[in-house]
């Protein structure tokens, strides 16, 4: 699938789409970003409190997916977007380490964006 996408995009324009001209670096960063998300999901699952009223006593994969599907999809998009704009947002080069940190912190990034959405809109539009 990614070979089809990369073959459609002219190699001289990779920087516009990926934030770097090195497509392998971007794909590797995506991989490590998603590893970070997966690590945080495993931590959440392993530290859940089964005695709460909304949580099953035993781990149920179907319940987990149904309960977290929107969060997982949002994390997939958020990690890709943050990796793409890492140089502009944080003045840091795209790297696997920073991508992993983005994946680990994707919940905090989501909360920050949600909390400061009006400030972000002001910054983009240039109005105060």
Assess contact for 48 and 55: CB atoms under 8 A: yes
Q: What percent of the chain has pLDDT over 90?
A: 21
* pLDDT tens digits, 109-125: 777 777 777 676 666 66
pLDDT bucket at 31, cuts 50 / 70 / 90? very high
Task: Quote the pLDDT of residue 64.
Answer: 84
Whether residue 2 is predicted with pLDDT greater than 60 in this model: the reply is no
As a whole number, mean pLDDT of residues 17-32 equals: 85
As a whole number, mean pLDDT of residues 38-58 equals: 82
pTM for the full model? 0.74
Structure token pair of residue 68: 């977290």
Domain extents for the chain? 2-125
For 82, 98, 108, 110, 112, the CA distances from 115, given in Å and listed in that order, are: 17, 23, 10, 9, 5
Task: Quote the pLDDT of residue 125.
Answer: 64
Assess contact for 85 and 15: CB atoms under 8 A: no
Other Cβ atoms less than 10 A from the Cβ of 56: the count is: 13
Whether residue 66 is predicted with pLDDT greater than 90 in this model: the reply is no
């Amino acid at each position: 699938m990614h070979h089809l996408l990369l073959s459609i995009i002219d190699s001289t324009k990779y920087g516009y789409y990926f934030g770097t001209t090195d497509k392998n670096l971007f794909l590797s960063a995506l991989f490590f970003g998603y590893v970070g998300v997966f690590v945080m999901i495993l931590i959440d699952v392993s530290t859940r409190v089964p005695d709460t009223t909304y949580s099953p006593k035993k781990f149920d994969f179907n319940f987990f997916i149904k309960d977290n599907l929107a969060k997982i999809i949002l994390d997939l998009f958020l990690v890709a977007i943050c990796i793409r704009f890492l140089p502009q947002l944080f003045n840091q080069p795209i790297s696997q380490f920073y991508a992993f940190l983005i994946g680990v912190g994707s919940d905090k990034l989501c909360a920050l964006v949600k909390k400061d959405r009006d400030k972000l809109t002001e910054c983009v539009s240039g109005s105060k």
